[in-house]
Structure 1
Amino acid sequence: MTIQSTNITPLSRVSIQDDFWMEYVNLVRDVVVPYQWEALNDRIPDAEPSSAVRNFKIAAGEEQGEFYGMVFQDSDVGKWLEAVGYLLSSRPDPALERIADELIDTLAKAQRSDGYLNTYFTLKEPEGRWTNLAECHELYCAGHLMEAAVAYYEGTGKRKLLDVMCKYADYIDTVFGPEPGKLKGYDGHQEVELALVKLYRATGNEKYLNLSRFFLDQRGAKPNFYEIQLAQRGGKVHYPNLDIARRLSYSQSHLPVREQQTAEGHAVRVVYMCAGMADIAKETGDRGMLEASRRLWRNIVDKRMYITGGIGSMEHGEAFTFDYDLPNDTAYAETCASIGLIFFAHRMLQLEPKSEYADVMERALYNTVLSGMSKDGRHFFYVNPLEVYPEAHGKNAIYNHVKPERQGWFGCACCPPNVARLLGSLGKYIYSAHGNTLYTHLYIGSRIEWGTAEGPVAVEQETRHPWSGDVRLRISADKPSVFELALRVPDWCDGYVVRINGEAWTKTESLDGDGYVKIARSWTEGDTVDLDLHMSARRMSGHPMIRQVAGKTAIQRGPFVYCLEEADNGPHLHEVALLKDGKLQTDFEPDLLGGLEVVTAEGVRMKRESGDDRLYEPDVSYRVEPAALRFIPYYAWANRGRGEMTVWVRSL
């Protein structure tokens, strides 16, 4: 049974022309990808070595040496190559393509004759293949290389890496499956599931789709495969000090995926799994998988997600904990987890174009993902807290995972190349099509080329978003074309106006229950649609069950969540409070960090009247001093040195 879903927009048909986002796309192209290439080749002073490229060269026989790094080190190379593939889709770059081709040659030489391709097990534990799926990331690394192969093939038309990974996938299919003699297992870190679907779409080989579905359906089956393998290894583990890695809920193996009710364990693994589940639902019409995807979506978004779109509240296991447990100062909120949430949201949009999926996609993109990279493109956050007190770092161990400044690189460097591959592929998240309807999910200046029954059409989007809610879409068509435009009304918008060719559009019933304004008509060359989304600074409150934000307020304007920084408001941010009825004023400051919309709010700073230095005393009185509180978008914090930061502020 086919689920009525939308089609993913090919990246080659969308070009981004946006003042805000082109800065980041160009940063990825000109700075981030070259910088990460240097990091992967261990040429960044004072950064932790990677050896990811060198491992492949050793496995290929091009260099001598031993494996170095994490067991999943290969995946960083896959994500880097995937980002390169996306960049080459939008613009030729012969020098970058030559570097990538040489790397692909090395990968091809590193592949074993049976198709196996993994440097850790090739170099360090050649007899250990597939013996510790719970911890050792073999299929995870394979998945990232598969995604790279598809992106590079679509970006360049070159099949070499695609053929390498098809050979690997064919070999994996001989090892795993329901047939007698095959392993009834699945990887500890989900990734291969969604990668196999991409490989299926690129090749049409249903073997890859069926293998993806097998991995998902096998997860959590009884008897548990991880426990069987642990016994077969005589209790030997890869991470002896990481007990959580062997808990079944950590890798979502405690129940079959169709029976899971809540998001448990490692946050990145959860949303990668959910993305794969949504893919299978779309490609096979599997209603049970769709319902399971919806159920996990509701739990994450309604009960376990930060206002910034961050997920995974606990450092131990980089994990979800329980409903409404969202601490600010010890938040983990890994950058990769928000990227995975965007993958999940985007796939749910393909299944059912509801604005709530795009709302979450936008929230994570503009806040946690952008926060994960500095404005110079060379420093990164792995963890994205909502409150920082730098003096505690290095002194109180519960904050050791939280960094008050972005880092140059990481020993576990999954986040930087993940940011690069997401921003490199940003164009495919803006639009989707279903039948005769073109959906606009994100308001990013761009042009999409689309085919209708009457012929080709181009839609060009002009916008001053995210600083303004003004959007214009202009139609280019050789002849009149009948189709429907569906324009998202975001959850941060408290009103909107639509004009077609300058005249007000008054069909209010055009706003459907899924949160899109739908305009169906015959479109001709030069037609315009103007959409004015009302964008004001808003006070946001948390659910009463979120203990950590009780009595506090956050500021949001458009897609941006805002924060206070010490650079603007001085130290001891815990002393300030926001007046509930105070005025909120917005001003664009072009010279601040490349241009930011700043929100100034009426507040107070509370000072203890007593001059006594006693730690505790009865009936202390405070004097209240007026204070103009200055908020900047959360994504821009920590670009002006060390200092305090907070998203949630006490409200009076």
Structure 2
Amino acid sequence: MKLNYAASAVLFAITTSFISSNDGDIRISSVKTTPVVATNKYYTANRAPLQPLHFIKLPIGSIKPAGWIRKYLELQRNGLTGKLGQISAWLDKNNNAWFSGTGQGDHGWEEVPYWLKGYGDLAYLLSDTAMIRETRSWLNKAMQSQRADGFFGPGYDDRKQNGKQAAPDSWPNMIMLWCLQSYYEYSGDQRVIPFMKKYFQWEASIPDDQMLTRYWEKSRGGDNLYSIYWLYNRTGEQWLLNLANRIHARTDNWNARHKLPNWHNVNIAQGFREPATYFMQKGDSSLLKATYNDFDLVRTLYGQVPGGMFGADENARPGYTDPRQAVETCGMVEQMASDEMLTGITGDPFWADHCEDVAFNTYPAAVMPDFKSLRYLTAPNMVMSDMKNHSPGIQNEGPFLMMNPFSSRCCQHNHTQGWPYYAEHLWMATPDNGLAAILYNSASVTARVGNNNKVTITEQTKYPFEDTIQLQVHPTAPAHFPLYLRIPAWCNGAQVFINGKLQSHESLPSTFTRIEKNWQKGDRVTIVLPRKLAIHTWTANKNSVSINYGPLTFSLKIPERYEQRDSRVSAIADSRWQQHADSKQWPSYEIFPAGSWNYGLCLGEGNPNTLFTVKHKPWPRNDFPFSQETVPIEIQTCGRKIPGWGIDKYGLCDTLPASPVIVHSAKEQITLVPMGAARLRISAFPVAKGTTE
């Protein structure tokens, strides 16, 4: 990975074109990132002395998702995310410490804010009045619970430390603060700022030896830090930066060169961003380097697999690096959130590329297409999704591989943020009062740009299932501002058309194409990102290979046989139902292979374009492309069965044989589908050769 620490305060133009046309003067350039010599006039960014942001998150509600991403959000609303409050015992309002208004109750920890974090944002994105009302009811109770000293929520207990009352658990509060921040950006509710200020005054009063003493809060102190900066950017009160210094010092050390503070997959996926978060205050490039190093370190040791994640199961273990090792659904959505935040902090397009890798390839297969159940653990190579205990093949003991609406207390509630946060970051503001297309999907964005002009940009695309993104620009009056378009690292030969005219400017991979012009109502910009087949060899994982077509990774199409189970019987031990929940409306599923899966690819020495045939299919009528039945693209290729590669003693697909594998089996035509549509899948393939090859 090529590092871009984004420490420069000047615009770095790689190539620049100046074009005079009937549309007016157009300046087009390829830039590494945005300039940070100015401050956006219209949106809250970092206030001095914090380092300026390269991309600034727009207030929620600025972006209206459309196309397949809106369909996914609607499935969430109608499925587990939207209905979880009716079935999860952890969200039962009766005697719930988060809903009592006092912080007292017989249940209430991370589950409520985990769920609300995505539920509320989903409500704002869909303008769902009932969901917004429900979100407010929980937030009102959380704010009502604030004590005279500033603490809120259910975190107090009777433990003693060194003969003194232990400080309460602040981890759940870190999540609830993010819920309140989204709510404020959506509603402007003036109670939020003094509420947060009072809470941080309480936090500042805690002695160092009482601050962040528990495992979860200490691992994830970066979430606390981010909220402090959020408040500072709105109040400018310097004592908040003093508190931030203390929070960083008390958080686990994510700055070490050759180790991480722990190997829990979710801690890594969100904790690794903490040094980059603190960089905003200190401006020390070594902090940025630490975040990049953490990302590289875990993937060097456990991430030699397709799909953007790493094989930790719940906790990574030495020697367990095969692509059959999985990652929690929690880890996927936290990684996506980290990528989105780091795009703004660093300006590096790498993070947006990586967010798409996880979002398109790893995350969709972790949930059922109707979004009514999910899987705690999902792996790149996964040929069994049942309720058996597969430990120690996977690290967790229990039914952790099946699709279950109660797949665990954490993922059951924390999954909610994945697609809403993604949709909120499709577009971001820039310091030079422009807009940037960060993640490509159908949507419309309305924002202030240029000299206080209001503009709406409508984006139409079926990306990543097609090459073309079409933008229509609608300013309320002619407006001069820059428009940034991300060119992914995988894309060579990107083309940009303005009002139908191909621009001669060369758009380079891993950059942003910056278009500055006087925009008129109805201006059209078309971006073509030509996809090509690519073979990735995972040398450190027995020379296995994965197949990419643009941002999509492909998996073997394994016929899937679903067996419905009683969710109460197959639930994980810490899952709890509300008393009157109808489990028949929320079934669990075991998924078994209904055909062979133990294929190696016949790669030979040929060009990828001669070894694979890409087959485009009609776009699904239901606008949902992430199932075997509806996926609009497949790849035909050649494979050979590997007889010695089967199910091992733990009930998992055995570890990869070293490539190349010499076999006697005949060549067969096999079909590959996008990894995100394959709930059973082989994504890291052995290379198979016949005895005469």
Q: Does 1:571 align with 2:595?
A: yes
Secondary structure (helix, strand or coil) at the match of 2:667 reads strand
Question: 1:599 corresponds to which residue?
Answer: 634
**TM superposition shift of 1:284:** 5.1
**TM superposition shift of 1:21:** 0.5
Which of 485, 488, 493 is the aligned partner of 1:487?
485
Asked if the contact 1:145/1:165 (under 8 Å) is kept, the reply is: no
Q: How does 1:150-549 map to 2 (within 5 A)?
A: 150-160=181-191, 164-177=195-208, 183=211, 187-190=217-220, 191-201=223-233, 203-219=235-251, 253=252, 256-263=253-260, 265-283=263-281, 285-300=283-298, 304-305=302-303, 307-315=305-313, 318-319=315-316, 326-329=321-324, 331-390=325-384, 394=388, 396-399=390-393, 401=396, 403-410=400-407, 412-432=408-428, 433-454=430-451, 455-508=453-506, 511=508, 514-542=510-538, 544-547=539-542
Asked if the contact 1:490/1:515 (under 8 Å) is kept, the reply is: yes
Secondary structure (helix, strand or coil) at the match of 2:96 reads helix
Question: 2:129 corresponds to which residue?
Answer: 94
In 1, Cα distance between the equivalents of 2:375 and 2:210? 41
Q: Does 1:28 align with 2:80?
A: no
Say how many residue pairs are matched: 571
Q: Does 1:114 align with 2:149?
A: yes
Q: Does 1:145 align with 2:176?
A: yes
Q: Which has the higher helix share?
A: 1
The alignment's TM-score, normalised by the length of structure 1, stands at 0.77
**TM superposition shift of 1:302:** 5.9
Secondary structure (helix, strand or coil) at the match of 1:24 reads helix
**Shift in alpha-carbon separation, 1:522–1:159, aligned structure 2, 3 A:** closer
**TM superposition shift of 1:269:** 1.9
Q: Does 1:585 align with 2:623?
A: no
Higher RCO (CA-CA < 8 Å; seq separation 6+) = 2
Asked if the contact 1:462/1:472 (under 8 Å) is kept, the reply is: yes
Asked if the contact 1:61/1:110 (under 8 Å) is kept, the reply is: yes
**Shift in alpha-carbon separation, 1:204–1:414, aligned structure 2, 3 A:** farther
Partner AA of 1:489 in structure 2: I
**TM superposition shift of 1:471:** 0.8
The alignment's TM-score, normalised by the length of structure 2, stands at 0.73
Which of 663, 666, 677 is the aligned partner of 1:636?
677
Partner AA of 2:326 in structure 1: Y
Asked if the contact 1:185/1:215 (under 8 Å) is kept, the reply is: no
Which of 111, 127, 140 is the aligned partner of 1:76?
111
**Shift in alpha-carbon separation, 1:606–1:85, aligned structure 2, 3 A:** closer
**TM superposition shift of 1:494:** 3.5
Partner AA of 1:338 in structure 2: M
**Shift in alpha-carbon separation, 1:452–1:389, aligned structure 2, 3 A:** closer
**TM superposition shift of 1:470:** 0.4
Question: 1:12 corresponds to which residue?
Answer: 60
Asked if the contact 1:311/1:320 (under 8 Å) is kept, the reply is: no
CA RMSD of aligned residues (A): 3.6
Asked if the contact 1:144/1:195 (under 8 Å) is kept, the reply is: no
**TM superposition shift of 1:141:** 0.9
In 2, Cα distance between the equivalents of 1:635 and 1:570? 19
**Shift in alpha-carbon separation, 1:304–1:525, aligned structure 2, 3 A:** farther
Structure 1: any 5+ residue segments left out of the alignment? 43-48, 220-252, 610-619, 639-643
> What do residues 316-354 of structure 1 show as CA deviations (whole Å, max 9, x unaligned)?
x623758xx63211x232222222222322232223322
In 2, Cα distance between the equivalents of 1:355 and 1:111? 40
Partner AA of 2:497 in structure 1: R
Asked if the contact 2:77/2:83 (under 8 Å) is kept, the reply is: no
**TM superposition shift of 1:55:** 3.2
In 1, Cα distance between the equivalents of 2:457 and 2:345? 23
Q: Which moved more, 1:280-289 or 1:554-563?
A: 280-289
In 2, Cα distance between the equivalents of 1:153 and 1:275? 24
Partner AA of 2:613 in structure 1: L
**TM superposition shift of 1:363:** 0.7
**TM superposition shift of 1:474:** 1.7
